[in-house]
Structure 1
């Protein structure tokens, strides 16, 4: 089931690239307000239409005066005031045209709350219109309220209009919605409207995601009986057949859907995936080429298709697909492009080409991942010196990433039992090239802590704080080290209180401050701060600090609960192990449950 979920999620993420937007973003305007770039012209036309469409006998002098004021406000760029005026008048006159104008002006104002208020008024006055419900659904989806968004679109479906439920489902799932939260309103709706084919298809897709294949097939059969001419039916059948590893059926259904809707590129994608699942790479590549001919500038689609090739061990096809983008200067800022191209080169055993591509990943989200991968490739071949030279080249090309790349060089040497060489490299770099680089100086101070060289640590930390007394990282690391490894707790307290004033929401700082209060014997203050830190940053070291403070204060029961919960939450817990070796009586009275990788609190853990 997990494999099917991953496969479907991958399909959805690519299919979503081919979809028109189902839900109108709040920042965009209604179709009839987007024709002119001049807001004042649109606003003036809007008011004229609103006046013309409203019943003349209802628009008294006060109303015309208010609408004139709205027009003037819109011309001055205050579309929010214009929207509120239209909304107020729509409530006074119960007029659909005024509510529609209020919504359009609200969308121009980019005020989500105002948009919702106006769209709600429009929907209340016009039970037949799908547009306000789509707008409200977009607002709900933007807040992560997927069940509400689904319920609003189901209202559209019930009215006989196209709610495009299947496309909404794809958008929702790829945006992180869970199948369960989407299914609840759907089940309720189908109890009242059992013969709505789009709702049945949408439920079938959800059931397939959850592994309920028989129920999904039943819904699809029912939908086909109701209307076999729906393209969405055959797209869903193709997706689900592919999940069942029936590539031949998936291809058959995709072809049938393509006959019904030849302009829908999702069927081309579905046919290509089925071909690829049947190991017919030539046929898949032809389909992908058709997609790229229709959307040559869609880089995200190109990357998604390349990922699919690589997942199916077809690096040559991935290379061919990525080549035009690699030659396009406009795509040069995409780190993922070079990452995927590098991975394709790896699969083809072209190490030098892979390294060259990883070196081209620009600063951003993928920057360090690319350098780490390059170092791994060379390290696996015991080419440590080559890896260092490669990183040094990166340091020259990306001076803003100097400290991060140096850290990677040091880690490489440390992991290959060359710690002394790593220290010498850092010392020589600071002395020769970067004496004023605070990041490197901080890095050396942290390594000194690891070496138990407090004198060297203190020298570098004081230099950092002389340069910048508000350096929170230095204040925190220096203060924590003093209270952890010396008896200079009062000095540590001054450092950490300053760090806390500068960064009161920093969990590491709050933890350190709580820990120094513990060492000073101020247990109540320590526990309060450590509980805050643990709530902000559930971490096994913070859990150990809090448990020890609770134990020292006499609350052994809660201390054991914290330890039991942390041992269940974290697979490794060296700080807690050390604590239990010092205080064996803190060991939980019953064995904790098996640790998981989940970030949720276990039932045994009491959140402090």
Structure 2
């Protein structure tokens, strides 16, 4: 991945950790779990079979005992297809389900049901196989048959068997269960499943109605109680949701999930002090559950509750819990709060794991921000020693950090790196950009063309070369052809769209240029794009609109040299 871009950094995205909707349909019922299918099926070779069949079954069982389950499954399936034996078919169905061989599991389960129509395990496997295949309507038929004699017991068995489903499978199971409320209107778990399904579809009012039906049938249904709180909050009834969550906490002081939900809602409502108090209560009641505290600290970070998040992360660090991760999050927290010195200390403390190198690179950047270029260079030299596989990226990172303050040193560093790795496109690209900054356009062009010799479809190089020829030479038609190739490969890249708008402007096609630049600015309101867009508007005589665009961009990026240069050139009397 390239560290550099000719212009425009990618927009940053915010990741929100949402609580997953769990499929605990039968709440407050003390029932033993149904065991998962055995990896090695029980023997079926004791029944009387002809010699060839018996040999196949023995091979299947020996393979299962040696954990060669795919081989075992193949023998069981072949025998099941040629012999009307419920025992063999059942083993094939169970083993196929265990190995997550959906089509085979469904085939064997349906064959088993023709042999033993009342077999509940066959019905469960058929239902879940349809779920995995994305056929909730077909699954609903089998679930209906499961529930016919004893709905409560059937649901308990089904949910226990469904524990291995992924999120998509859970969604399909909910859809299947939601279809059965009319047939079993007195089953709270089915109304809860319907409420969850409607909630996932964004139908809050209908979800609320279904959830209230579940609670009317079973006031102690914990999952439905929690869903009621979430539905109230998402329906903008924040105070009511918080009151309901607080009531659940008071009623169940030793239960984790009501208090966790309460903390989340307090954080999202900006009631930080109350959230901190509840977090401390959680830590006291569940002192050994560090994962829980960590999860809530991260949620606090996402909601801007920096004080409570910092306290929790520091406490976990003191307890020796995932020290590298704690240092990393504390570093990011301090950096967001503007405390560069504290952030630097924590970044440097991240020594192992996938994030260690990234943390050290961020520390190098903080050194530069603090004016300590020597410390940055020492750190990156050490990183190159310890991470030889990352040499190109580390050289490029150092050149980028040097580039704005000392581009001559950056260029010398990249010359040294390319003497070791002469055809590394990452380094060639980095040197091209530093050379452009120093006005050495010949070097820039040579390096970008070398990249295109090595990788003719390199989009970054096509765009960078086209943009350089547009901005720094009069070879605009040549630039247009390069940018056109890049845009064909990435038609929604705002940097390339900006380049196309800029070269069209240089070619005198002002209206077409305006269309591209307005689109680029809408996608990514960067100061450089604003400078280009304003200049086109100015050329069209739309001076007030140009000034408005420049003012808007300057409010976010007041130090932009692109805005300063264009205003000094076109509108020197403007304040």
Q: Is the structural similarity TM-score above 0.5?
A: yes
Which residue matches 1:69? 59
Residue 444 in 1 paired to residue 431 in 2? yes
Is 1:236 the counterpart of 2:227 in the alignment?
yes
Work out whether residues 238 and 251 of structure 1, in 8 Å CA contact, stay in contact via their aligned partners in 2: no
1:201 corresponds to 2:196? no
Confirm or deny that 1:215 pairs with 2:206. Answer: yes
Query: What does 1:473-484 align with in structure 2 at a 5 Å threshold?
Result: none
1:103–1:122 Cα contact (<8 Å) kept: yes
Q: How does 1:28-427 map to 2 (within 5 A)?
A: 31-33=36-38, 42=40, 46=41, 48=43, 50-51=44-45, 56=47, 59-74=49-64, 78-106=68-96, 112=100, 114-122=101-109, 125-126=112-113, 128-129=120-121, 131-133=124-126, 136=129, 139-140=132-133, 145=134, 158=147, 160=151, 161-162=155-156, 163-164=158-159, 172=167, 188-207=179-198, 212-243=203-234, 244-245=237-238, 246-256=241-251, 258=252, 265-270=256-261, 272-273=263-264, 279-280=273-274, 281-293=276-288, 295-296=289-290, 298=291, 301-311=292-302, 314-323=305-314, 325-326=316-317, 331-332=322-323, 334=325, 337-345=326-334, 351-361=340-350, 383-386=369-372, 388-389=373-374, 391-399=376-384, 400=387, 404=393, 407=396, 411=400, 419=404, 421-427=405-411
| Structure 1: distance between partners of 2:200 and 2:344 | 38
For structure 1, which segment, 367-376 or 434-443, has the greater mean C-alpha deviation from structure 2 after superposition?
A: 367-376
Query: Cα–Cα, structure 1 residues 481 and 307, in superposed 2: closer, same or farther, change >3 Å?
Result: closer
What do residues 420-467 of structure 1 show as CA deviations (whole Å, max 9, x unaligned)?
A: x431221343467884254445411233356563432366579x88xx
- Equivalents in 1 of 2:88, 2:174: separation in Å? 35
Give 1:392 deviation, angstroms: 3.1
In structure 2, the residue corresponding to 1:398 is in which secondary structure?
A: helix
Q: Answer yes or no: is the 8 Å Cα contact 1:99–1:118 preserved in 2.
A: no
Structure 1 residues 228, 105: closer, same or farther in 2, change over 3 A? Answer: same
Distance across 1 between alignment mates of 2:469 and 2:383: 39
By how many angstroms is 1:479 displaced? 7.3
Task: Please state whether the residue corresponding to 1:385 is helix, strand or coil.
Answer: coil
Specify the SS of the correspondent of 1:31: coil
Are positions 1:539 and 2:489 aligned together?
Answer: no
Answer yes or no: is 1:429 the counterpart of 2:383: no
- What is the alpha-carbon distance in structure 2 between the residues aligned to residue 107 and residue 516 of structure 1? 60
Deviation string 1:348-380 (CA, Å, 9 cap, x unpaired) is 77542222113334687756875787688788x
Per chain length, whose mean CA-contact separation is higher, i.e. which structure has more relative contact order (CA < 8 Å, sep 6+)? 2
Task: Report SS of the residue matched to 2:19.
Answer: helix
Unmatched tracts of structure 1, length 5 or more: 1-5, 21-29, 35-41, 488-514, 521-525, 549-558, 585-608
What is the distance in 2 between the residues matched to 1:361 and 1:146? 47
The alignment's TM-score, normalised by the length of structure 2, stands at: 0.61
Superposition CA RMSD, Å: 5.6
The whole-number CA distance in structure 2 between the counterparts of 1:157 and 1:392 is 68
1:121 Cα offset (Å):
1.9
Report deviation, 1:92: 3.4
1:472 aligns with 2:459: no
- Give the unaligned 5+ runs of structure 2: 1-13, 26-34, 114-118, 471-476, 503-511, 540-575
Shift of 1:87: 1.7
- The alignment of Structure 1 onto Structure 2 pairs a total of residues equal to 473
Pick closer, same or farther for the CA change 1:79–1:391 going to 2, 3 Å.
Answer: same
8 Å Cα contact 1:449/1:457 also seen in 2: yes
CA contact (8 A) 2:175 2:197 kept: no
Encode CA deviations 1:136-171: one digit per residue, 9 max, x unaligned: 37845xxxx596898699669846223449x98997
Q: 1:346 to 1:76 in 2, by over 3 A?
A: closer
Distance 1:343 1:101 in 2: 53
Change (3 A) 1:436 1:105: same
